[in-house]
Amino acid sequence: MNVITKTTLLTLGAILTFYSILWFLPEKEITYMPDDTLRAYALSHGLAPVPKTYQKLLEVTDNPKNPLSPAKIALGKKLFFDPILSRDMSISCLQCHLLNEGGDDNLPTAIGFHGQANPKHLNSPTVLNAALAKAQFWDGRAKDVEEQAAGPMQAPFEMNITPKLALQRIRKIPTYVEEFQKVFGEANGSVTFKNIQKAIGAYERTLLTRGAYDKFLEGDNSAISQSAKRGMNLFIQKGCKGCHTGMSVGGQSIQHFPLRRALSDIFKNDPFPFPNTGGFLGKDSQKLFRVPILRNITKTAPYFHNGSVKELKEAIRIMSKYQIGKEFTPKQIKDVEAFLKTLEGEPVHYQIDLSPNANLEKINLKGSDLSHHDLHSINLKNANLQNCDFFGTNLSGANLTGAKVDGANFTSADLSFANLSYVDLSHIDLIETKLESVNLEHAIWRGGRVCQKGSFGKCL
């Protein structure tokens, strides 16, 4: 027996011994926790419900480098649906990210400009809840949704547009130019490709979904079935939640796939437990992939990066076998599938509370049209009100202390008894504005004068 043959046999023997030991190791028992214990365990290990209100949304998805505002979100939504950003004006972002179909296109591979398929046969990750992820694309090469937005627009096999052509088109549409100026406040330079990315990113930061899973985490034991609860126990205790974690139930890390090899795969050349159509091997060709977001997973078939797996139950089987190292039984697969079904949800329609007496301290309303609203006694302390239109709006008794009001229009507004202390009004016209008993203490007025207590008349 020569050295090569002997070495080969010894290696095979070692591999067989290793897998045999794994096979006969006792399986860890699953403890099916009571509802309240299961919920508490999930919440303490990174799983969390999606917020219900706009103010809570800001705590979760707002980007300090691209602060959310209603006007910016509305502009981003308009661009997301507009085919003007594709070369032949036939494709919008919506084509690959159907919001009522799980946020993807339900195709094995994305189809773009002139029917071209993605050259690496990659399918479209969901845009729903994507803002919660720490990286974008299958290989995690973009850090956030703003950076990601630039890719599909410029890719020749997707929307195939250049920044120059995109800007030429936008600048020819007066309503777009006006909206960009109000949102970004740069009179002659607001329409930039970077600001297009920011607007689309702002809209995508609101595309979070809620469903039965969120209701369960918030205390409703009847929101999900017993089968789903068993599946959730398996998901947590078998280790799935180690990678599929966070509010998005995934998207928080880059992980190796497959993590393990099955004994039956020893002589296979294919790197994955399914055909590697397209030849993509993840980040740096090291089989490193951004962990998929599992919210709405039941609506985003086919599965894996190249859409090679059509059925969710088969995707669960593969993940249990190749990532966890112990293939789930048919009953376990059924229970996990029932749990994943609870992750279905509808996009939340986030709206700012613009009712009288609302607390909007530090809120960003830049560029918003708030004309003819009743906002009496609203708290806008330290809010960003730049370029807002308050024409004919009732702001009587409102607290605007320290608010930014550059470019705001208060024509015919009612600011009676409002608190405008520490507000810079040096470039604001208050045409026909009601200012009875308004507090202008320490406000900056015409010529840079600072209003002192008891000198309101002089300031006005």
Q: What digits encode the pLDDT tens for the residues 265-306?
A: 777 788 999 999 999 999 999 999 999 999 999 999 999 999
In terms of Cβ atoms closer than 10 Å to its own Cβ (0-12, 13-18, 19+), residue 290 is: buried
Average pLDDT rounded to a whole number, residues 30-57: 96
Active site residue 314: no
Band of pLDDT at residue 22, cut at 50, 70 and 90: very low
pLDDT for 268? 77
Structure tokens at 335: 């229970």
pTM, two decimals, is: 0.91
pLDDT at 105 over 50: yes
Is residue 345 very low, low, confident or very high in pLDDT (cuts 50, 70, 90)?
A: very high
pLDDT at 454 over 90: no
Please tell us whether the domain made up of 54-208 is placed in CATH 1.10.760.10: yes
Quote the tokens at residue 354: 């613009």
What percentage of residues in the chain have a pLDDT greater than 90?
A: 85
At residue 308 the predicted structure's pLDDT band, cuts being 50, 70 and 90, is very high
Over residues 340-364, mean pLDDT? 96
Mean predicted lDDT score pLDDT of the chain: 92
Assigned superfamily of 352-460: E3 ubiquitin-protein ligase SopA (2.160.20.80)
Quick one: pLDDT at residue 23? 45
Q: Of residues 29, 146, 158, 314, which has the active-site annotation? A: 158
Region of 293 (left: φ > 0; alpha: ψ -120 to 50; beta: rest) is beta
Tens digit of each residue's pLDDT (9 = 90 or more) over 129-174:
999 999 999 999 999 999 999 999 999 999 999 999 999 999 999 9
**Candidate from 24-33, 42-51, 86-95, 388-397 with smallest mean pLDDT:** 24-33
Tell me where in the chain the CATH 1.10.760.10 domain(s) lie: 30-49+210-255+278-347, 54-208
CATH 1.10.760.10 fits 30-49+210-255+278-347, yes or no: yes
